Structure 1
Amino acid sequence: SRVAAVASGEATHTAAVRMAVAGRVAARWVRAAPAVRAPVLARRSIATTRAALAEEAEEAHANVDGDMLLTFAVPDKALVQKRAIFRVTVPGRAGTFGIQKRSPPMLAELRPGVVDVDFDGKGDSVQYFVPGGFAFTHADNTVDVSAPEAVLLEDIDADLVRSEAEKAKQAKDAAASGSPEEAKAAIASEVYKALGHALGVSV
C-alpha cells in the first residue's frame, strides 16, 4: 500500500543513515538517497575555488530581493518545481520550523511528519506527509526539499494507518532484541505514530 511504502522508506532511510543496521539496507538507501543539489555540494566540497565562491555570492546577492523559490522532489519526480512560495514548514529532527524569504542558509535532516507548502500566505497551501529527507535553504532565496516518498495528507486512510501500526508493533515484539528486524519495525512504528499525529488519530 502507499502508506506502507512510506513507512518502508523511512525504515530504509533511518536504518542506513542513522543506525546502519544492515549493509543491504544501506545499499538500497544510497541508490534512493534524495539529492536535489547534493552532487553539486559534493563536488564543491572536493575542490572549491575562489572564483566559484565569488560567482555564487554574486548570484545570491542578485536574488536577495526576489521571490523564494521551492523545489520539492521525490526520487522519480518534482512535486513542486522552482515555484514562488510564501513559506514552507518542514519537520526537522530538532523540531518543526518554517522557511521564508531571507531565511539563513542551512541543511536540515527531516523526521517523519508533514511538509506544509504555503504558496501565498492567504490559504493556498498543500500538505504532504514524508517519512524523512532533507531541506536545503540557500542564500539566493531558493529552497530544496527532498524526500524518499511523499503522500498528500488528504489521501491517507486513517484506518489503514491504525492497521499498519499494529502490524509494525507485532513485528517489533516478534523480532529478536537488537536485531535489524527489530530496528526496522521500531522505525516503522515511529512513522505510523507521526502519521497518526498528523491525522489526529491515536495509533
Structure 2
Amino acid sequence: MISEEERLNLALADIDSVNKEDPRLVEVDGKPYPTELLYSVRMTEMLHWFAPHASVQLQIAARGQHIGRWNSPRNSFPMDRPGYLKWRSKLKLYHADQLSGIMEKRGFPQTDIDIVRNLIIKKGVKQEGEIATLEDVVCLVFLKYYAADFAGQHEEAKVIDILQKTWGKMTDRCHQWALSMELPESVTALVKKALGA
C-alpha cells in the first residue's frame, strides 16, 4: 500500500517531468533551467517557507501552478485585455486538467483531485483558506524573483500599478512577510512607491 507521502512525491516528480520539457531556458548562477521547472521549484520552496504545514493538495497546486504553460503562449490570443482574460481562463483549465490526469494516474481520490482543480481555477473565496495561501505564494514568488525583470521591461507607472494590484491580492499576513523578505533593492524601492511610503 503506497503512502500519501509517496503518492505526493510521485505526483510532484510527474509535474517536474512535464516542466523539464519547457524549451524556454533561463540562466541562474551560470546554469540553464527550463523556465517553468524553475518557477515550480520556487513555488514549492516559497510554500514551504510561508506555509510549512500545507496540505498535499496545496503542495500539488503550487508545484503545478504553471504546468506546461509554454504550450499555450500569450500571443496565441488577441493582444488586448479581452484576449488576455481569455488566455488566463484557458490556462487555468489547462493546468487543472494536466494535474487531474497526473493525480488520477497516481491513485488520488476524486475529492483530492477536485480540491486541486478548485485551487488552480481559484474557485471559491479568494481571500480565505488555501486559495488565499496559494495566491499569497504566487505574489511572494513574483516579488522575489520576477518583479525586477518586469520593472526593467516596462515604464515605472505600469510597474507601480501592477505592484499595487499584486498587493491588493495578498492577505495581511502576506503583506508582513513581503515587507520582511529580502528583495532586490530596485523592487523594495518600487514597493515603497506603490504603497505611498
Larger relative contact order (CA 8 Å, sep ≥ 6): 1
Larger fraction in helix? 2
TM surpasses 0.5: no
TM-score, normalized by length of structure 1? 0.24
